[in-house]
Amino acid sequence: MQAEPSHSFHIKDKTIFVGTMLEGKTIGAVIPAHNEAQAIGKVVLGLQRLSIHKQSLIDRIVVCNNASTDHTKACAQQAGAEVVDEARPGYGYACLAGIAHLNDTDIILFVDGDHSVDYAGIPLLLSSILNGADLCIGSRTLANSEPGALAPQQLLGNRLATWMINSLWQTKVTDLGPLRAIRRSTIELLDMQSKTFGWTVEMQVKAIIQGMNIQEVPAVCRRRIGQSKISGTWKGTLLAGYGIISTIIRLYRLSRRQVKVAGQADA
């Protein structure tokens, strides 16, 4: 009989074993942040507190200072994070800068810089990756999140986007949640191109098209610190919605063309 792993996390009625599976694996967190001075220190501290027998679960924490005009960079450094600057505004630009900085990690964790997620659920994402998933997404839909954590326009946009994905690719996606873990080898295969609002949906859809092992786990969401740059304004909401929907349509058309070309080649 195989010995039970000695290191574990306890989340409600679940025991998440990660200790022995982590041997030889390195984990890095990427935190895209644009004007998140109020929250970024709490985010970094929340990740630092995740540990196994007094050893940090996350090896490196990188804050991607994305064209901030406040003290985001200084606050992140003071909290103990590594900081990489990305002057070009855009969620995708920030994520790509973080990935490039973490060039020696096996698993990459993406976390928003607004303190809107309960970090206690992160081991569940990592456990899914260590057990074979290529991509694991923290679904806010599957969790009992704090009332008001998601604005009405966020809920509506998320439902529309997931409905489109499920209809076009016959999947059961429940969320485009920004909290996610992915293998470095996986993200290299996906060849990410989106530089702004389409980043998260491009990752999911490309993984679906390539037949990768994608899993969802509950991710408890709470009210963010400060005003959202996206859902907090109509302009941000409309731009994000356009970016997400246009990315889904573009990838669907591309996948159909690839299927057609492959069929002609086999004929």
Average pLDDT of the chain to the nearest whole number = 87
Which single residue is written with the structure tokens 């290529």? 134
Instruction: Determine the Cα–Cα distance for residues 120 and 51; give it in Å rounded to an integer.
Output: 11
Average pLDDT over residues 224-234: 63
**Does 2 reside within a domain?**
no
List the beta bridge partners of residue 51: 56
**Does 243 reside within a domain?**
yes
* Contact between residue 155 and residue 141 where contact means Cβ atoms under 8 Å apart: no
List the beta bridge partners of residue 65: 33, 85
pTM > 0.75: yes
The total number of structural domains that make up the chain: 1
What six digits make up the tokens of 82?
A: 């590594």
Contacts of residue 203, Cβ cutoff 8 Å, sequence gap at least 6 = 135, 180, 182, 187, 190, 192
Instruction: Determine the Cα–Cα distance for residues 215 and 144; give it in Å rounded to an integer.
Output: 18
Angle at which helix 72-79 crosses helix 40-48, to 10 degrees, equals 20
**Does 65 reside within a domain?**
yes
Taking the alpha carbons of 168, 173, 179, 182 in that order, is the dihedral positive or negative? negative
Alpha helices, DSSP H only, in 110-183?
122-130, 152-169
- pLDDT at position 21 is 53
**Does 3 reside within a domain?**
no
For the stretch 120-166, pLDDT in tens is: 889 999 999 999 999 999 999 999 888 888 888 888 889 999 999 99
Does 11 have pLDDT greater than 70?
A: no
Does 4 have pLDDT greater than 80?
A: no
| CATH number, domain containing residue 225 | 3.90.550.10
**Does 215 reside within a domain?**
yes
Does 254 have pLDDT greater than 50?
A: yes
Contacts of residue 120, Cβ cutoff 8 Å, sequence gap at least 6 = 9, 11, 220
Does 105 have pLDDT greater than 90?
A: yes
**Does 62 reside within a domain?**
yes
**Does 1 reside within a domain?**
no
- pLDDT at position 260 is 67
* Domain housing 223: 8-266
